[in-house]
Amino acid sequence: MDRLDADVHADVVIVGGGIAGITTAFFTLRNTEQSVVLLEADKIAHGATGHNAGQLTSYFERPLHDLVAEFGLQRAVEAQRNVESGWTLLDQILAETQLQTPVYRFTGYAGLSTLEQLVEHLKNNRCRLEGGLNARVIMVAEEWEGRNHIPEEYRDLITITPHSDVLSLLETSNEGFIACISAEKGCMNSALFSEELAGYLLSTYKDRFSLYEESPVQSVNLTQTNAELRVATHTVTATKVVLCTNGFENFTIENKEGPAIDTKFHHAIAGRIGYMSGYLEPLNHPPTAISYYSEPKEKTNDPAGEQYFYLTRRPYEHDAKDPHNLICAGGPEKVLPNGAEYSREDYCQEDMRSRIDEFLRDNYGKHPSNETTYAFCWHGLMGYTPNRVRRIGPEPCNPTLLYNIGCNGVGILPSIFGGLRISHFLRGDSVEPSIFDPDDQRCELPEYGN
């Protein structure tokens, strides 16, 4: 793809070519008549989108009951519904575009090992039911003595089942797992999906879509009606700019007609480096996604210290002659200190690699371990918003600027939903307020479509 080599103008400029930027472009082009320029600093899908586990899942990075406590039942459940709508939106994109990227859908599982973890999920389940969502199936091992301590108010939310069934669903022989939650899950290669979708947009919307790679934006200057972006020696102008940069972008934002945005924006996202390892296995088990919440080795409030691991298993696309399953396993994270540079090229840290290895050996034990062989490791940057909810919508201090950012560890389906929501703002629809709205006490949220 070309670098930007001239000044350009479009109705909308999108910054960032990960899954958020590409699906924002898809819905904007599909749902409006507007022209779109997409600027990517590197190559399409080389950010978090190209470094994840490919798990399709629709939970928040915070327990639902916690969101209910902050935002109220109705708003929190509506947001949960929004994220779950990502499933249908993904189906819709695939049906309309006929992309070839394989998408696997199945029931996935999460294993729990303590009463506290179980009660957390039961609270979430109660909120789901009270808000009109279907309840998750939570199976508890009948042999587990701790089940007598499950509070009475939640007993109607569990299914008692033999311990062997819990272990079998989790594909583990680790008897520490005493309960298991099932939920709709899936997996896909989100980088391949984004690249293919970019190709579709370029060929379908030749007259009003252009995409420039290796074109890092250096500055964004805003008025109430116009955005001017600097890319090397060139200028891109637009009536709206949508940041889909995952929060780490190296540019300045100057709000020429309103309160300063730059500092607030740059402090809005905190970085965590997520580590993953890939393993190959014979192609003799179906795709799956399983999470494992082990008993914490020590009490900690730091999510990076949690005993949480997860894996996805899907056919490996890159070796058609010798087909294998690819297992992507991850969980350990490290905080990126404020102001520190993250480099994609850095080697995987050995302590992270061995933690994942140990987890796999101790937990993913149903298959003979000599069939699962280590292939490679990688890491990626996750941007956490302070409240761990993605930001989707107009900047309250200047609605020329919109966001679909804050990847968090679960970002594929929320990014797709975010793309649709942004297209509604850009079309001038009357958009219901939501917990995804970027908020700022200095400025009222702009009204859309009224």
Ligand X SMILES: Cc1cc2nc3c(=O)[nH]c(=O)nc-3n(C[C@H](O)[C@H](O)[C@H](O)COP(=O)(O)OP(=O)(O)OC[C@H]3O[C@@H](n4cnc5c(N)ncnc54)[C@H](O)[C@@H]3O)c2cc1C
Q: Which residues of this protein are in contact with ligand X, per CB under 6 A?
A: 15-21, 39-42, 46-49, 51-55, 190, 216-217, 244-246, 249-251, 274, 276, 330, 380-382, 407, 409-412, 415
CA max distance for the chain = 70
**Residue among 144 and 403 whose Cβ is closer to ligand X:** 403
**Long-range CB contacts (within 8 A, 24+) of 123-126:** 123/63, 123/64, 123/65, 123/154, 124/63, 124/64, 124/65, 125/154, 125/157, 126/65, 126/153, 126/154, 126/157
For residue 197, the minimal CB distance to ligand X (Å) is: 12
For residue 245, the minimal CB distance to ligand X (Å) is: 4
**Of all residues in this chain, which one has the CB nearest to ligand X in the complex?**
411
> What is each CA distance from 317 to 18, 237, 241, 263, 320, in whole angstroms?
20, 39, 35, 42, 7
- Cα 75–77–78 angle (5° rounding)? 60
**Residue among 18 and 396 whose Cβ is closer to ligand X:** 18
For residue 170, the minimal CB distance to ligand X (Å) is: 17
**Residue among 3 and 442 whose Cβ is closer to ligand X:** 3
For residue 125, the minimal CB distance to ligand X (Å) is: 21
Helices 73-97, 412-427: inter-axial angle, 10-degree rounding: 90
**Residue among 19 and 122 whose Cβ is closer to ligand X:** 19
For residue 1, the minimal CB distance to ligand X (Å) is: 12
Rounded Cα distance, 287 and 283, in Å: 10
**Residue among 207 and 350 whose Cβ is closer to ligand X:** 350
**Residue among 24 and 141 whose Cβ is closer to ligand X:** 24
For residue 21, the minimal CB distance to ligand X (Å) is: 5
For residue 223, the minimal CB distance to ligand X (Å) is: 20
Label the pairing between strands 36-39 and 8-15: parallel
Q: Which two tokens stand for residue 233?
A: 């020696």
**Residue among 250 and 300 whose Cβ is closer to ligand X:** 250
| In contact, 274 and 379? CB cutoff 8 Å | yes
Q: What separation, in Å, do the N-terminal and C-terminal C-alpha atoms of the chain show?
A: 39
**Residue among 177 and 248 whose Cβ is closer to ligand X:** 248
Rounded Cα distance, 381 and 47, in Å: 8
Torsion angle in degrees (nearest 10) through CA of 30, 32, 33, 37: -70
Rounded Cα distance, 15 and 227, in Å: 12
Rounded Cα distance, 380 and 275, in Å: 7
For residue 436, the minimal CB distance to ligand X (Å) is: 13
From the CA atom positions of the chain, what is the Rg in Å? Answer: 22
For residue 169, the minimal CB distance to ligand X (Å) is: 19
**Residue among 171 and 249 whose Cβ is closer to ligand X:** 249
| Number of neighbouring beta carbons within 10 Å of residue 355 | 18
Find, among 338, 330, 343, 332, the residue nearest to 271 by Cα: 338
Phi, psi of 380 (to 5 degrees): -155, 160
For residue 333, the minimal CB distance to ligand X (Å) is: 8
**Residue among 126 and 272 whose Cβ is closer to ligand X:** 272
